[in-house]
Amino acid sequence: MENLESKTTVLNDLIRLNNDRIAGYEKAIQALNENTTDLKTVFHDQIVQSYAFIAELKEAVEDTGGKAEVDETTTEGKLFRSWMDIKAIFTGSDRQSVLESCIEGENAIHDAYTEASKLQELPTNTQFLIQQQKEKLAMSGKKIAALYHCRKIKVTNK
């Protein structure tokens, strides 16, 4: 029973973190102004990606005989979103501030996946799933970082 519990715990933790990611990107979309449709589209894609990850993780939990906790978030995620609200009061909800918060969230979930990928007691197919999701998260994180570092260049007519 302990082995089953340890397997489902790590997978349910990843599910909760993906729920945090969804809630974080939903909050980011709400914080953006109407002129940032490009970011809203990217953030929506991240939300869709996390829903797909949750479905795959839920299946992996159920394959181990456990019960998936698909409707929960983490305390840390709730605190992070509250911090985002407070930060927005002082720094505003400009593009760069929102992207900076998203980078922090992407780094946190990637770190959790890195730790989960080191667990040897998970079945091989589950280890492979976690590794695949981790790689996709890394690509997503790089995309968000690139958007953060990409500054719009204003061209003026002289």
d(C-alpha 135, C-alpha 49), whole Å: 12
Assess whether pLDDT exceeds 90 at residue 129.
yes
Virtual CA dihedral for 116, 122, 126, 129, nearest 10 degrees? 20
| pTM, full prediction | 0.84
For the chain, domains (ranges, CATH) are 2-149 (1.20.1260.10)
Choose among 25, 6, 2: nearest CA to 104: 25
Per-residue pLDDT of 77-101, as tens digits, reads 655 555 565 555 545 568 888 888 8
Per-residue pLDDT of 8-63, as tens digits, reads 889 999 999 999 899 889 988 888 877 888 899 999 999 999 999 999 999 999 98
